[in-house]
Amino acid sequence: MILGAHVDRDDPVGEAIARDAGIVQFFLGDPQSWRTPVLAHPGGAAGLREQAEQAGVQLVVHAPYVMNVASSNNRIRIPSRKLLQQTVSLAAEVGAIGVVVHGGHVTASEDPFVGFANWRKCVDSLELPIPIFIENTAGGENAMARRLERIDQLWTSLEGSPNADRVGFCLDTCHAHAGGEELAGLVEKVRALTGRIDLVHANDSRDGFDSGADRHANLGHGQCDPDGLAEVVRLAGAPTVVETGGGLAGQVADLDWLRSRL
């Protein structure tokens, strides 16, 4: 079982070693910016890739939060596609296993199938030397990946795309809980729809079931079913990252919490 954490981008491998982690997730740039991602590592892409390989650490990149490739707004959707491609290309240079990207949403008045169609156009047009991992989201009634029904519709829309096999799934436990999906039995349900789970975000939830609130908590300190959370990690059999607070000490405690239940 490969466990790790989301860390600062300046020295991701050093952060992994400090956590005794086999994988780290990080942003390539400012997650709230539309600017072209620029790698912070002093050795550049080749240097980071070599350092990670020597340390036996897997890398995964999280795409910026500002992106929404499902949007019907050209001023959001088109820059989102461009930024996603830039992120994937640079992530491939550093040797990342994939790029996590949120499912996005359309407005409350729009047909969600507009968003699914925009996702299909995006996937068709991408160059994917490494896969993207679409992540389930916690809130939004017109989100593309909040509930199992929508995830099913999204994956159905991507069937037949020449890049369909390069689209994976990232299962976030906080988002599932806050989005109204029980964690117990969830892995089997997701796999029945997507055929795969490529990454797990193991996070507790500050808020209650079906709250729609994306607020992570340290493991065992939130409102997620602890047995269900551990079950997701165990049955998914995928690399797992905690995206929790408390700095180094907080994340080390969370990884210990997981290891004690696996």
Tens digits of residue pLDDT in 136-162 = 999 988 999 999 999 999 999 999 999
Tell me which amino acid residue 86 is. Answer: Q
How do the residues of the chain divide into helix, strand and coil, expressed in percent and rounded to 5?
40, 15, 45
The strand pair at 216-217 and 204-205 is best described as: antiparallel
**What CATH number does the domain containing 195 carry?**
3.20.20.150
**Which neighbouring-strand residues pair with 100?**
62, 133
Residue pointed to by tokens 């910016």: 33
CA distance 232 to 226: 10
Q: Are 119 and 79 in contact (CB under 8 A)?
A: no
The strand pair at 3-6 and 23-26 is best described as: parallel
Largest CA distance in the chain: 51
Tens digits of residue pLDDT in 101-117 = 999 999 999 999 999 99
Distances (CA, A) of 181 to 139, 210, 221, 225: 12, 7, 19, 11
CA distance 164 to 5: 27
CA distance 238 to 47: 26
The count of structural domains within the chain is: 1
Tens digits of residue pLDDT in 174-227 = 999 999 999 999 999 999 999 999 999 999 999 999 999 999 999 999 999 999
For residue 171, give both structure tokens.
């299962």
Structural domain of 71: 3-261
CA distance 79 to 44: 25
Distances (CA, A) of 2 to 22, 78, 110, 136, 140: 5, 35, 40, 21, 31
DSSP string, 50-95: HHHHHHT-EEEEEPPTT--TT-S-HHHHHHHHHHHHHHHHHHHHHT
Q: How far apart are the first and last CA of the chain?
A: 9
Burial level of 213, CB count in 10 A (0-12/13-18/19+)? middle
For residue 258, give both structure tokens.
């997981």
Tell me which amino acid residue 89 is. Answer: S
Question: What's the whole-number mean pLDDT along residues 157-177?
Answer: 98
pLDDT at res. 40: 83
Q: Are 101 and 122 in contact (CB under 8 A)?
A: no
pLDDT at res. 226: 98
Whether the predicted pLDDT of 253 surpasses 90: yes
Q: Are 204 and 258 in contact (CB under 8 A)?
A: no
DSSP state of 20: T
Tens digits of residue pLDDT in 8-62 = 999 999 999 999 999 999 999 999 999 999 998 889 999 999 999 999 999 999 9
